[in-house]
């Protein structure tokens, strides 16, 4: 991996550690301030069309029953990250969880019990020390693949995304310009597909070749790498981004995360959100429109209904077209998976549905 320039993160860690020690020396309860992550401190920036982190701060103190462990964990991870940077190695957030997990003193308690405990602390460190994850020499396990009319450079290796067979290029967790560069591209648009299996359909049918585009998937909620890549396609290549997801609340959430960012990573929205992303399907009107048989629909669960009602109130779903779309889903009481289109014909989705929608500009924004 290419050598990272020192971003000053270690210096900021050390300075915070000195602060803690001098507070202790003054006989006081050590504390650190960090931006509050979570619903109470995110807002929707209408102008930028994305979820952003507010400026509320939380104080994490050591002598506090509810915070002591997190306080300790924060510095435990920071000291481990310092080692990574010092040795100039990059590792996964799963790996750092294992490297810092151990039994505390002579107790039966562990520093961390689950990775789900250390991941939020890593995110805390990102915001508290204003550091990008890659500056911490950390990455998440990668997820998602890409093929299309584009040649890229990944860590110095040139990759022609037209010649990647059925699997495509595995999108790494970190897709910053110093790792990934776009070399040559003829693509006219980008198609993001929710699921791996549907993406394979498009790849097998050489959709990207026939329609001169890039296709990628994120296997569910897209990880940081995929989101960052989409954003760079928009920024650097000025490509339109189309999002194809199931017609259910989860699909809408995936679209929402791509477009506006998420609550949890609100501080990363400025680098990852793609406000111009277009929702091309599936729509709640598709069943009638394409005369899909009734059997391919699935009844909405109570949970689904509840979520749709919540989504109806989201500020970025207030356009009349969206309201119509959502209310129609509620009224029909069913959801539709991408695979439902195969009821027409296996290649219906790649040969008819998507090309049609793009041609007729039938999308929501």
Partner 1 sequence: MTVEKKAKELAAQQRAISVAEFFEKNRHLLGFDNPIRALLTTVKEAVDNSLDACEEADILPEIFVQVKEIGTNRFKITVEDNGPGIVKKQIGPVFGKLLYGSKFQTFGGKQGRGQQGIGISAAVLYSQLTTGKPAIVTSKISPKKPANVFELKINTKINEPEVVSTKEIEWDKNHGTRIELELEAKYMEKRASVLEYMKETAVVNPHASFVYIDPKDQKLKFPRVTDKLPKKSKKIRPHPYGVELGILQRMLKETKARTLKSFLTSEFDKVGSGTADEILKNAGKLDGKILPRLLTLEQADALLKGMQGSKIMSPSTDCLSPIGAEVLKKSLEAEYDLEFAHAITRSPTVYRGNPFQIEIAIGYGGELVREGTVNLIRFANKVPLLYQQGACAITKATTSVDWRKYGLQQSSGNMPQGPAIILVHMGSVWAPFTSESKEAIAHYPEIIKEVKLALQEAGRALQLFVGRRAKRELAKKKEEMFKNYAIELAASLAELTPKKREEILNKILKVAEKMYKSGEIEREEEKVKIKKRKTGAFRGGEEE
User: Which residues, at least 6 apart from 121, have a Cβ–Cβ distance to it below 8 Å?
Assistant: 70, 73, 74, 77
Positions marked active-site: 98
Residue with smaller CB distance to partner 1, 73 or 149: 73
Residue 119 C-beta: closest distance to partner 1, Å: 7
Among positions 9, 49, 71, 275, the unique one binding partner 1 when judged by CB under 8 A: 71
Among positions 72, 89, 170, 346, the unique one binding partner 1 when judged by CB under 8 A: 72
Cβ count near 245 (within 10 Å): 24
Q: In what order do the strands lie in the sheet with 157-160?
A: 157-160, 150-154, 180-185
Site string for partner 1, 233-272 (x = CB under 8 A): ----------------x---x--xx----xxxx-------
Element holding 153 (H helix, E strand) = strand 150-154
The verdict on 56 binding partner 1 (CB under 8 A) reads: no
Q: Which stretch binds partner 1 (CB under 8 A): 63-71, 179-187, 197-205, 333-341?
A: 63-71
Q: Which stretch binds partner 1 (CB under 8 A): 8-16, 175-183, 289-297, 327-335?
A: 8-16
Pair 225, 144: CB distance under 8 Å: yes
The verdict on 315 binding partner 1 (CB under 8 A) reads: no
End-to-end CA distance of the chain: 38
Closest CA to 139 of 200, 94, 194, 193: 94
Residue 56 C-beta: closest distance to partner 1, Å: 12
Q: What phi, psi does 18 have (nearest 5°)?
A: -65, -40
The verdict on 82 binding partner 1 (CB under 8 A) reads: yes
Residue with smaller CB distance to partner 1, 105 or 320: 105
- For tokens 């110095």, the residue is 156
Q: What is the distance between the alpha carbons of residues 177 and 138, in angstroms, rounded to a whole number?
A: 16
The verdict on 62 binding partner 1 (CB under 8 A) reads: yes
Q: Which stretch binds partner 1 (CB under 8 A): 33-41, 147-155, 162-170, 191-199?
A: 33-41
Among positions 47, 66, 289, 360, the unique one binding partner 1 when judged by CB under 8 A: 66
Residues of span 149-178 touching partner 1 by CB under 8 A: none
What is the number of alpha carbons within 13 Å of residue 238 lying toward its C-beta? Answer: 0
Q: Counting beta carbons within 10 angstroms of the beta carbon of residue 58, is it exposed (0 to 12), middle (13 to 18) or buried (19 or more)?
A: middle
- For the record, the structure tokens of 257 come out as 């995360």
What is the number of alpha carbons within 13 Å of residue 22 lying toward its C-beta? Answer: 7
The verdict on 220 binding partner 1 (CB under 8 A) reads: yes
The verdict on 63 binding partner 1 (CB under 8 A) reads: yes
The verdict on 83 binding partner 1 (CB under 8 A) reads: yes
Q: Interface with partner 1 by CB under 8 A: which residues?
A: 13-14, 16-18, 20-21, 24-25, 27-30, 38-40, 61-69, 71-72, 75-76, 78-79, 82-83, 104-107, 109, 111, 119, 140-141, 220-224, 227, 249, 253, 256-257, 262-265, 306-307, 310-311
């Amino acid at each position: 991996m290419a050598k990272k320039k020192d971003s000053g993160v270690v210096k900021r860690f050390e300075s915070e550690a000195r602060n803690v020690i001098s507070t202790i020396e003054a006989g006081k309860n050590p504390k650190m301030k960090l931006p509050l992550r979570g619903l109470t401190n995110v807002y929707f920036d209408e102008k930028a069309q994305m979820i952003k982190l507010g400026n509320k701060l939380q104080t994490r103190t050591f002598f506090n029953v509810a915070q002591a462990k997190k306080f300790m964990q924060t510095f435990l991870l920071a000291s481990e990250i310092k080692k990574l940077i010092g040795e100039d190695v990059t590792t996964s957030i799963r790996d750092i969880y294992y490297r810092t997990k151990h039994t505390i003193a002579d107790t039966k308690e562990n520093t961390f019990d689950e990775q789900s405990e250390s991941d939020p602390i890593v995110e805390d460190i990102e915001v508290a020390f204003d550091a990008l994850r890659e500056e911490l020499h950390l990455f998440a396990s990668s997820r998602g693949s890409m093929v299309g009319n584009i040649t890229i450079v990944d860590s110095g290796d040139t990759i022609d995304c037209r010649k990647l067979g059925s699997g495509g290029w595995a999108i790494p967790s970190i897709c910053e310009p110093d790792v990934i560069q776009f070399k040559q591209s003829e693509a006219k648009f980008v198609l993001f597909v929710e699921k791996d299996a549907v993406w394979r359909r498009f790849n097998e049918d050489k959709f990207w070749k026939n329609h001169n585009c890039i296709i990628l998937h994120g296997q569910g909620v897209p990880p940081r790498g995929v989101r960052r890549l989409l954003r760079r396609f928009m920024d650097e290549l000025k490509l339109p981004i189309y999002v194809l997801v199931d017609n259910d609340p989860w699909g809408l959430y995936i679209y929402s995360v791509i477009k506006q960012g998420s609550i949890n990573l609100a501080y990363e929205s400025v680098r990852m959100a793609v406000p111009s992303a277009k929702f091309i399907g599936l729509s709640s009107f598709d069943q009638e429109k394409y005369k899909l048989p009734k059997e391919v629909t699935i009844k909405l669960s109570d949970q689904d209904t509840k979520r749709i009602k919540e989504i109806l109130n989201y500020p970025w779903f207030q356009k009349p077209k969206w309201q119509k779309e959502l209310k129609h889903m509620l009224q029909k009481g069913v959801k539709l998976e991408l695979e439902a289109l195969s009821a027409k014909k296996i290649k219906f989705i790649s040969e008819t549905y998507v090309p049609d929608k793009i041609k007729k500009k039938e999308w929501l924004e």
